[in-house]
Each structure stands twice: as structure tokens, then as C-alpha cells.
């Protein structure tokens, strides 16, 4: 007897990819950890046992205990609470930086790859330039040269409006950190997208779209880009992890998110100064960062396999 299938909903490549992803244990673990990160980032303030800022100078540098599961830092702040709040920073930085970098990369890479010519040469030159400058140097320079003017400008706005938002130093931090990190992380995305677009541009279905008389814009948006995005998704997943590490590195150099806003990076850099005496202050944030970064990489690898079904067989 033949089963009657009434529902002919199309099976999309994405749904198939999702099925394959679910079968990949590491990728599922990665996804799980990332899900926890997202939840913690979203609801952290309601979950953390203490306020991340509240200092308890009587209980400084305490080792892990029943009261403070991960101990306290040199100002007596609860490490677990700071980690939880730091998840929000880490997540914001990772997503913000990556979104900005990917946007720059996709726009430049797609246009360069699709149209070629002088613009392409310019973009490639610009990409090479950006990549050849040492990243940290660039960030330090950007920070050093922009922090002052931006603070002054914000102070002026405050004087004008008396709106306290202009005095929130966290905003300067985020803008600067996002901006400068996006400015150094876009080139790989641009290169990747350009290479993909170049190869997709030559596919027969693009020629077919041309034969239909469609405009370049439609061909780029509907025929080229959707088919060029697979590897980008993989790169983005890994890039999110990288952005978190980068933020920590910057905090370590003192150009990241400034204390007291907790970020895993500045917790690590604080912890590093005292780690011989109070190793938990270093280990806790370092471990969390490592786990999350690895999770993103697992997910990236899993996506890579899931999106390339042929490579699995």
C-alpha cells in the first residue's frame, strides 16, 4: 500500500543541514553551551547571587566557598556574579563586533567580487593594507586617538542636555571597542565573500539569470549571495569566539572595556596580576572564556560539515 503524503512542504537545504547538525555531537555540545551563554547574557542580572558592583571590603580575595561559589576579588566582589554579568559584555562585544565586521565584509566583498574592475582592485588593496598593520597596534592607535575627543564631545553633550546618558563611560567603551575591533576584523570576511562570489558568479545558473534579462542587482542579491553564504556562516560562528578572545586581549592591554564594567577580559587581566596568590581569580574567567570559544569553534565545524553534505560521504 502506498502512503499518501498530503503535505509537500519543500525540504530546504537548511532544514537538511539542521538535521545533519543535530547528529554531530560536538556541534550540539557547542550549541548547548552557546545557548546557556545567551540565556545568562539575557537574564544574568536576575540570576546572579550578588550585585556585580557591590563591594565587600571585609571579604576580599576569598577562595571559593558556600557563600561565594567562586570566591571574591580584591575588592570583595562576588566572582560568579561578575562572570555572569561579564557574559553580557562578552556576548554584546562578540555579536556587535561580528555583525559590524560582517556587514563591512559582505558589502565590500560582494561588490568587489561581482563587479570586479577598479573597485575590486581598490578593495583588495585596502584589505591587504588593513591586514598588514599589526592588529593590536591599530587598536591602540584608534583608542588613543579617539578616546579623548569622544569623551570631550560627550561631556559637551552632557553639559548641553544634562542627560546622564552622556556621562555613561560604558557607552564610550562599547563604541570604541566595537568600532576598533570591527575595523580590524572585517578583512577576512571581505576576502571570503569575494572569493565565494567570484566562484558563484561563474556558475551556470548565474548565466541563466543573465539570459533571463535580470538586472545585476537582482542577480547579485537573489542568485549569487544566497549561494555564497555557506562558508560565511561557518566563519561567523568561529569569528564570534575570536571576537571574545580579542576583547580579552584588549582588556589585558587596557584598551578594552574599562572597569568597573565586568568583562571576562579585564577579569583575566586583573587575575593575572595576583594569580600566584589567588589563582581562582584567573582560572574562573579564563576557563569560561576557553569553554565558550571552543563551543563556537565546535559549532563552526559542525556547520561546515552540515552545509557540505557531499564532503561527509
Partner 1 sequence: MTAPLIEIAGLSKRFDLRVGAFGERSATVHALDDFTATVIEGETLSLVGESGCGKSTTGFCLLNLHRPTGGSVRYRGQEIAGLDEDAMRPLRRELQIVFQDPYSTLNPRMTIGEALAEPILFHGLATKADLPARVTRLLADVGLTPRFANRYPHELSGGQRQRVAIARALACEPRFIVCDEAISALDVSVQAQILNLLLDLQEKYGLTYLFIAHDLAVVRHISDRVGVMYLGRLAELAPAGALFSQPMHPYTRALLSAVPEPDPKSARSRQRLQGEVPSPLNPPQGCRFHTRCPIARDACRSAVPAWREVATGHHVACHAVSAPDKLNWEGTE
Partner 2 sequence: MTALLDIRGLTIDIARDGGPARVVDGIDLAIQQGESVGIVGESGCGKSLTMLSLVGLLPNRIRATGGSAMFGGRDLLKLGPKELRKVRGSEIGFIFQDPMTSLNPVIRVGDQIAEALIWQKGLAKEAAQARAVELLELVGIPGPAERARAWPHELSGGMRQRVMIAMGLAGHPRLLIADEPTTALDVTIQAQIVDLVRELKDKMQMAVVWITHDLALIAGLADRIAVLYAGTVVEDAPVSAIFERPTHPYTRGLLASLPTLAGAAMERLPSIGGTPPEPGRRPPGCPFAPRCAHAVAACAEAVPRLAPVPGSDPRHRVACPVMTERAAA
Report in angstroms how near the CB of residue 214 gets to partner 1 at its nearest: 6
> Residue 5 binds what, of partner 2, partner 1, none (CB under 5 to 8 Å, by partner type)?
partner 2
Asked if 19 interacts with partner 2 (CB under 8 A), we say: yes
The site partner of 290 among partner 1, partner 2, none (C-beta below 5 to 8 Å per kind) is none
User: Please, which residue, 1 or 159, has the CB nearer to partner 2?
Assistant: 1
Is 4 near partner 2 (CB under 8 A)?
yes
Rank residues 210 and 273 by Cβ distance to partner 1 and give the closer one. Answer: 210
Distance CA 181, CA 93 (A): 9
Query: For residues 288 and 248, what is the distance between their CA atoms, to the nearest angstrom?
Result: 12
CB nearer to partner 1: pick between 87 and 209: 209
Site string for partner 2, 291-310 (x = CB under 8 A): ------------------x-
Q: What is the closest distance, in whole angstroms, from the C-beta atom of residue 14 to partner 2 in the complex?
A: 12
Q: Pick the closer one to partner 1 by CB: 130 or 227.
A: 227
Question: What are 166-175's contacts with CB under 8 Å, separation 24+?
Answer: 169/258, 170/257, 170/261, 172/147, 173/256, 173/257, 173/258, 173/261, 174/92, 174/93, 174/96, 174/257, 175/150
Residues 6+ apart with CB under 8 A from 167: 154, 155, 158
C-alpha cell at 304: 561546515
Backbone angles phi, psi at 86, to 5 degrees: -65, -30
DSSP letter assigned to residue 67:
S
Residues 264, 249 contacting (CB under 8 angstroms): no
Q: Which DSSP category does 165 fall into?
A: G
Choosing from 199, 210, 215, 291, the residue that interacts with partner 2 (CB under 8 A) is 199
Nearest approach, Cβ of residue 215 and partner 2 (Å):
24
Helix (H, G, I), strand (E, B) or coil at 221: helix
Considering the complex, what minimum distance in angstroms separates the CB of residue 249 from partner 1?
A: 38
Say whether residue 311 binds partner 2 (CB under 8 A): no
Q: For residue 260, what is the DSSP state?
A: T
Q: Which residues bind partner 1 (CB under 8 A)?
A: 8-13, 203-205, 207-216, 218, 222-223, 226-227
DSSP 78: B
Q: Assess contact for 38 and 91: CB atoms under 8 A.
A: yes
- Options 16-24, 150-158, 232-240, 262-270: segment touching partner 2 (CB under 8 A): 16-24
Q: Which does 199 bind (CB under 5 to 8 A by kind): partner 2, partner 1, none?
A: partner 2
* Contact string 201-220 vs partner 2 (x = CB under 8 A): -xxx----------------
Q: Per-residue x/- marks for partner 2, 155-194, CB under 8 A?
A: ----------------------------------------
Neighbour tally for 1: CB within 10 Å: 3
For the CB of residue 7, give the shortest distance to partner 2 in the complex, in Å. 3
Q: Report whether 234 contacts 303 (CB < 8 A).
A: yes
Q: How far is CA 117 from CA 105, 113, 127, in A?
A: 18, 9, 16
Contact yes or no for 293/24 (Cβ under 8 A): no
Instruction: Count residues near partner 2 (CB under 8 A).
Output: 19
Is position 313 an interface residue for partner 2 (rule: CB under 8 A)? yes
- 2 near partner 2, rule: CB under 8 A: yes
- Provide the binding-site residues for partner 2, judged by CB under 8 A: 1-9, 11, 16, 19-20, 199, 202-204, 309, 313
Amino acid at each position: 500500500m502506498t502512503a499518501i503524503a498530503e503535505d509537500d512542504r519543500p525540504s530546504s537545504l537548511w532544514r537538511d543541514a539542521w538535521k545533519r547538525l543535530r547528529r554531530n555531537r560536538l556541534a550540539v555540545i557547542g550549541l548547548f553551551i552557546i545557548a546557556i551563554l545567551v540565556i545568562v547574557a539575557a537574564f544574568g542580572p536576575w540570576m546572579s547571587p550578588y550585585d556585580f558592583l557591590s563591594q565587600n571590603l571585609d571579604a576580599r580575595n576569598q577562595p571559593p566557598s558556600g557563600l561565594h561559589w567562586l570566591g571574591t576579588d580584591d575588592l570583595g566582589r562576588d566572582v560568579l556574579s561578575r562572570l555572569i554579568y561579564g557574559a553580557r559584555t562578552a556576548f554584546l562585544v562578540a555579536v556587535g563586533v561580528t555583525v559590524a565586521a560582517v556587514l563591512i565584509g559582505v558589502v565590500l566583498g560582494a561588490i568587489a567580487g561581482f563587479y570586479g574592475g577598479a573597485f575590486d582592485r581598490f578593495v583588495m588593496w585596502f584589505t591587504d593594507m588593513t591586514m598588514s598593520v599589526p592588529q593590536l597596534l591599530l587598536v591602540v592607535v584608534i583608542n588613543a586617538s579617539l578616546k579623548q575627543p569622544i569623551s570631550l564631545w560627550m561631556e559637551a553633550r552632557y553639559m548641553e542636555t544634562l542627560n546622564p546618558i552622556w556621562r555613561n563611560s560604558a557607552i564610550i567603551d562599547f563604541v570604541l571597542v566595537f568600532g576598533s575591533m570591527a575595523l580590524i576584523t572585517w578583512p577576512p570576511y571581505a576576502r571570503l565573500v569575494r572569493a565565494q562570489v567570484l566562484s558563484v558568479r561563474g556558475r551556470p545558473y548565474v548565466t541563466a539569470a543573465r539570459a533571463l534579462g535580470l538586472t545585476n542587482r537582482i542577480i547579485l542579491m537573489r542568485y549569487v549571495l544566497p549561494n555564497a553564504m555557506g562558508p560565511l556562516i561557518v566563519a561567523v560562528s568561529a569569528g564570534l569566539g575570536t571576537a571574545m578572545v580579542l576583547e580579552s586581549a584588549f582588556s589585558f592591554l587596557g584598551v578594552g572595556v574599562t572597569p568597573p564594567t565586568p568583562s571576562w577580559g579585564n577579569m583575566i587581566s586583573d587575575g593575572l596580576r595576583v594569580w600566584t596568590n589567588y589563582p581562582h581569580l584567573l582560572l574562573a574567567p579564563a576557563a569560561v572564556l576557553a569553554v565558550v570559544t571552543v563551543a563556537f569553534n565546535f559549532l563552526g565545524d559542525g556547520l561546515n560539515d552540515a552545509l557540505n553534505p557531499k564532503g561527509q560521504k
